[in-house]
Amino acid sequence: MNSMIDYIGSMITGGAVFAAMLTYFFNVSATAVSQVFSVSTQEDMTSITEILECDLRKAGFGVTDSVAFTIADSNHIAIRADFDNNGTIDTVQYWVGTTQMPESSNPLARILYRQSNGKTVRLTPNAITRFKVWYYNASGAMTTDVRQIRTTRIAMNMECKISYDNQTAGEYWERVIKPQNLR
């Protein structure tokens, strides 16, 4: 009888330990998967912001009519500069689509586009849930007058297009950029 009680007791204890280990294992696995998605999203964010910053820093280079921006909307920006330093003024635009990104279940998910001299590319396979641009004049006041813009502030939220366990990896980036040619 005693050995039966020992046997049942050890089974219950062992089962509990086993269940706890399994639960822990699944939680850790979920964290690991989330981490992988976070890394991927963060790398994607730094890559596209590098492109965006590189373009914005050139704003106004070689421009003689003081118009370094042709579009200055809150979610659409068009920058004028001699981007490839060949003596010809080019225009580069960034904007987010108006419809939900098909691959995402998030109704705010949009596609971020970059257009350079008429050629449009999708910048990231991930979803942009917010792309907002503010424009400031020389005295720091907000403006939409393209001739007065001296500073831009850009904020962007990115979400991984794949969710895991109902969780989506996301990144936030915000930057104030003062193009040297607009000083």
Partner 1 sequence: MGGRALIVTLLGIMLLSASVFYSITRSSADLMKNVDQYYSRQSAQNIAQSGANLAIQRLSTDQTWRQGYTLMSMFGGNVTVRLVDTTFKSKQVVKIVSTGFCDYGKSSERRETSTAYVPSGFVPPVVRGSITAFGPLDDTISDMLIDGRNWNYAMTAVTSSSGVFAVSTGAAVFVNTQSAKLGGTTYTTTPATDIVPAFPNDVRVVETNSSWLNGWPTTPDAALGYPNGTLKNIAVNKLTPGSQYVTAYAQLVFPLRGVTYIEVPNGTIWTKQKLGANPEGILVFHSPNHDAYWNNITTTAGPFKGLMVMDNLFHIHMDILGGLALLNPKTISGKCNGNANHYVRYSTETIQKATQSSMQIVDGISWYE
Min CB(24)–partner 1 separation in Å: 7
Our CB check for partner 1 shows the closer of 35 and 74 to be 35
Can residue 36 be called a binding residue for partner 1 (CB under 8 A)? yes
Residue number, 101 or 159, with CB nearest to partner 1: 159
Specify whether the CB–CB gap between 132 and 155 falls below 8 A. yes
Per CB under 8 A, does 23 bind partner 1?
no
CA nearest to 158, candidates 113, 112, 120: 112
Binding mask 94-133 for partner 1 (x = CB under 8 A): ----------------------------------------
For partner 1, the binding residues (CB under 8 A) are: 10-11, 14, 17-18, 21-22, 24-25, 28-29, 31-32, 35-36, 38-39, 42-43, 46, 50, 57-58, 61-62, 64, 85, 179-181, 183
